Amino acid sequence: MRELEFDELEALAIGAGVLGTGGGNHPHLELMCAQADYLRGRRVTLLDPRELADDARVAVVCIMGAPLVTKERLPEPVAICKAVRLMEEHCGKAFDAIMSIEIGGENAFFALLVGMELGLPVVDADTMGRAFPEAQMASFAIRGLPVTPFAIADIRDNAVLIPVAENATRVERIGRKTVVELGSIAGTCAAPRTGREVKDHAILNSIGRALNIGNAVLDARKAGANPVASILEAENGALLFTGKVQDVSRRTTDGFVRGCAVLSGTGAFEGQRLEIDFQNEFSVARLDSVRIACVPDLITVLDEETAEAIGTEVLRYGQRVAVIALPADPIMTSPEGLALTGPRAFGFDFDYQPFAEKTV
Amino acid sequence: MRELEFDELEALAIGAGVLGTGGGNHPHLELMCAQADYLRGRRVTLLDPRELADDARVAVVCIMGAPLVTKERLPEPVAICKAVRLMEEHCGKAFDAIMSIEIGGENAFFALLVGMELGLPVVDADTMGRAFPEAQMASFAIRGLPVTPFAIADIRDNAVLIPVAENATRVERIGRKTVVELGSIAGTCAAPRTGREVKDHAILNSIGRALNIGNAVLDARKAGANPVASILEAENGALLFTGKVQDVSRRTTDGFVRGCAVLSGTGAFEGQRLEIDFQNEFSVARLDSVRIACVPDLITVLDEETAEAIGTEVLRYGQRVAVIALPADPIMTSPEGLALTGPRAFGFDFDYQPFAEKTV
């Protein structure tokens, strides 16, 4: 257990942006909220999952919604706090710690903000090792743990509890429709987890991974080195493309941001064309129509100069970017993991291939 | 408190069909279910609301969904029983009686079926005095009673609880989206009511009213009299039209059956044309473009010969019908009632006028 330092907040924001793979964007606003909390004397207590008692109760939280909507209707940690309280009432037991369902994007910070608000430590783990658009694309669901009860709340006076459901996908669908009805942004608290379950089935050290990425970027910037290259080195990634955003088709539908971005190559990729599909997060990249990366591997679009992650909701014509791929957690590339997070789970008609192997 | 007799079941079905105003149709299947329960030795205990203790706990139940869907996916009382049990668990208190949210159509019978299944008496009251498409169009909501918690369950293993909400309309919208996700049919248990609340704010004696209508029809049939005229006499109604169904446009959308029926006149109405709009239930009738009846008054389409009610989901070309209007309960025509159940609540741009006064 240790206190997260003020300076680490920025590194975490950069790293969470990269791991966000286009969903949830760089968490600018949430970083500012966390910094403001620090200036008011609050602190994030970071908890190594190994320190969790087996019977500790962990609240797995996130903001559920469409990233584009968060730009006009700011997500509030208070909505998540309400969902956490609702879950405590429903179960008749208090929580001992907070954990984010996903380390990617804004949700990495919401766990911190909720932890500070409720005075609970934040577990250095998540269930995706990145961001994913749907609630069942999570290690706990992949490992077959019960996904209910599931609590949803908004900043007004609305809440929904799903006490039982056939499967994780049903929870996602009922939850998503509820969230759309509440304005496409709501706070959620997923099925409570024990310390033992977190240690056995979560993706561990994901805050550490985000900090590692963020520090690599900050160090490179300070040293005048290339921050994109620093990320690839730190995280065993691959450069997929450098280029200019040529076109973005994007629509917010069914509670998601969906679409496709077209990039024209620069530098070593001059004359080539990259297309990237997305559903909140980037899902498939094609170089001159040849598939070169797909979910659950991480595809991230970075500002070429600063290595700041660019979200699917702010991607626009003219941006000069580097597109990188980072390896997915082994839980995600297991057969059970691919069933819930592989290309077919996103509606594509092909199987997963790691990004190193280029496919036709 | 008295036992409902076997022979009364048929009269209740006829009356509930008439009070269904097109929504939920004549409850054929549910009548058969109830009769089968009787043959197995079960009985409905009918409870006069005045017999309720002030602190008795009443479960207000219904099947929520689109009538058209009930023809291919039969609604099950077990779904409602699950919602009732969920509510009991949530509140930590058992129910003393069952009551239908609406006396119109199939839901009149679901209260009976649930009462027999759970061994609880059924209160002779409802919250609409008819059928309405949306959950907030109810006397308890009109009188400002809290509408949460609200429980929804299906016949599989899915359930949703709405512990709090801003208002009744929000409960309806969240509930409706959940029901659509569950296949457009689910069982619900609305906010528990005390005996005092039922006595003060429910529409009393609505099962009695349905029995009265049903008996009038059965007696007329036996006596070779006109059963449509018998209903009008028994319930202070008006004959709006007799004619033939010429055209029906109908779509199932957002969990409702919506559309419009066009009828060409016969007999005294020869040469005239009636249009009736519906959203699950009939909402507005226009005779040669002149509005002659609208919600919350009851507009019902009956088979001209048998006075059997015809639902919006089975209305079709060639049917020879009588269209009648019956007066709404005074709770519905109060200013607060009209705000939730008048034409404007159905999206129309005009105010309520009782069906006796013809409007342009």
**Mean pLDDT value of segment B337-344:** 96
Which chain B residues touch A164 with a CB distance below 8 Å? 157-159
CA nearest neighbour of A19 among A127, A122, A121: A127
**How far away is chain B from the Cα of A332, in angstroms, using its nearest Cα?**
26
Q: Which long-range contacts (CB under 8 A, 24 or more apart) does B224-233 make?
A: B227/B306, B227/B307, B228/B302, B228/B304, B228/B307, B228/B322, B228/B324, B230/B307, B231/B18, B231/B302, B231/B307, B231/B324, B231/B326, B232/B324
Which chain B residues touch A162 with a CB distance below 8 Å? 158-161
Distance CA B98, CA B146 (A): 18
**Mean pLDDT value of segment A46-64:** 97
The residue in chain A having the minimum alpha-carbon distance to the alpha carbon of residue B173 is A181
Q: Is the pLDDT of residue B359 over 70?
A: no
Mutate to test the interface with A, among B167, B169, B177 (most CBs of A within 10 A): B177
Cross-chain CB nearest to B181 (options A156, A163, A173): A173
Q: Has domain A234-346 been given CATH number 2.40.390.10?
A: yes
Q: Is the pLDDT of residue B166 over 70?
A: yes
Residue matched to tokens 């919208």:
B173
Q: Is the pLDDT of residue A357 over 60?
A: no
Which residues in chain B (93-152) have CB-CB distances under 8 A to chain A? none
Residues B174, A165: C-beta atoms closer than 8 Å: no
Cross-chain CB nearest to B181 (options A159, A163, A177): A177
Q: Is the pLDDT of residue B11 over 90?
A: yes
Q: What pLDDT does residue A359 have?
A: 42
Q: What pLDDT does residue B25 have?
A: 63
Q: What pLDDT does residue A249 have?
A: 94
**DSSP 8-state assignment for residue B44:** P
Domain ranges of chain A: 2-204, 234-346
Cβ proximity of A249 and A260 under 8 Å: yes
Distance CA A12, CA A209 (A): 9
Q: Is the pLDDT of residue A258 over 50?
A: yes
What CATH fold (topology level) applies to the domain B2-204? CV3147-like fold (3.40.1610)
Distance CA A319, CA A301 (A): 10
Which chain B residues touch A160 with a CB distance below 8 Å? 160-163, 174, 178
Strands A57-65 and A45-47 turn out to be: unpaired
The confidence band for B282, taking pLDDT boundaries of 50, 70 and 90, is very high
The tens digit of pLDDT for each residue in A160-174 reads 999 999 998 899 999
CA nearest neighbour of A30 among A153, A100, A113: A113
Centroid of chain to Cα B125: 12
Q: Does A56 touch chain B (CB under 8 A)?
A: no
Q: Is the pLDDT of residue A321 over 80?
A: yes
- Pairs across A and B, CB distance < 8 A: 65
Measured at the CA of A61, the angle between CA A59 and CA A66, to 5 degrees, comes to 170
Q: Does B168 touch chain A (CB under 8 A)?
A: no
**DSSP 8-state assignment for residue A309:** B
Strands A97-100 and A57-65 turn out to be: parallel
Residue matched to tokens 């296949």:
B183
Cβ proximity of B348 and B282 under 8 Å: no
CA atoms within 13 A on the CB side of A2: 8
Which chain B residues touch A159 with a CB distance below 8 Å? 162-165
Peptide bond into A327 cis (omega under 30): no
CA nearest neighbour of B299 among B347, B216, B241, B247: B241
Distance CA A188, CA A172 (A): 11
Instruction: Give the contacts of A319 (CB within 8 A, at least 6 positions apart).
Output: A244, A245, A303, A310
**Mean pLDDT value of segment B7-28:** 91
Q: Tell which wins on pLDDT, B71 or A276.
A: A276
The tens digit of pLDDT for each residue in A261-271 reads 999 999 999 99
Residues A164, B158: C-beta atoms closer than 8 Å: yes
The DSSP result for B80-145, as a single string, is: HHHHHHHHHHHHT---SEEEES-SSTHHHHHHHHHHHHHT--EESEESSSS--SSTTSSHHHHTT-
Cβ proximity of B86 and B109 under 8 Å: no
Distance CA B103, CA B209 (A): 9
Distance CA B208, CA B15 (A): 9
pTM of the model: 0.86
Q: Which two tokens stand for residue B105?
A: 């159509």
Mean pLDDT of chain A: 94
Mean pLDDT of chain B: 94
Which chain B residues touch A161 with a CB distance below 8 Å? 160-163
Residues B157, A178: C-beta atoms closer than 8 Å: no
Q: Does A86 touch chain B (CB under 8 A)?
A: yes
The confidence band for A73, taking pLDDT boundaries of 50, 70 and 90, is confident
Residues B177, A177: C-beta atoms closer than 8 Å: yes
Measured at the CA of B224, the angle between CA B222 and CA B227, to 5 degrees, comes to 85
A161 forms beta bridges with A151, B161
Instruction: Give the contacts of A45 (CB within 8 A, at least 6 positions apart).
Output: A1, A2, A3, A4, A115, A120, A121, A122
- For residue B194, the one-letter residue type is T
Range in A22-31, A235-244, B32-41 the model is least confident about:
A22-31
Range in A332-341, B59-68, B110-119 the model is least confident about:
B59-68
Instruction: Give the contacts of B13 (CB within 8 A, at least 6 positions apart).
Output: B26, B27, B28, B30, B31, B108, B109, B214
**How far away is chain A from the Cα of B275, in angstroms, using its nearest Cα?**
33
Q: Tell which wins on pLDDT, A89 or A75.
A: A89
Range in A6-10, A24-28, B136-140 the model is least confident about:
A24-28
Residues B174, A166: C-beta atoms closer than 8 Å: no
Distance CA B279, CA B14 (A): 21
Return phi, psi of residue B36, to 5°: -65, -40
**Complex ipTM tops 0.85:** no
Torsion on CA atoms B88, B92, B93, B97, rounded to nearest 10: -10
Produce one character per residue of A90-121: b if its CB has 16 or more CB atoms within 10 Å, e if not.
beeeebbbbbbbbbbbbbbbbbbbbbbbbebb
Distance CA A280, CA A66 (A): 7
Q: What pLDDT does residue A135 have?
A: 84
Residues A160, B157: C-beta atoms closer than 8 Å: no
Instruction: Give the contacts of A125 (CB within 8 A, at least 6 positions apart).
Output: A49, A99, A198, A202, A203, A204, A205, A206, A207
Give the three-class secondary structure for B59. Answer: strand
* Extended beta strands in chain B, E state: 2-3, 45-47, 57-65, 97-100, 122-123, 125-126, 150-153, 159-164, 185-189, 193-194, 203-204, 238-253, 256-265, 273-279, 281-287, 290-294, 298-303, 320-326
A253 forms beta bridges with A256
Residues A177, B182: C-beta atoms closer than 8 Å: no
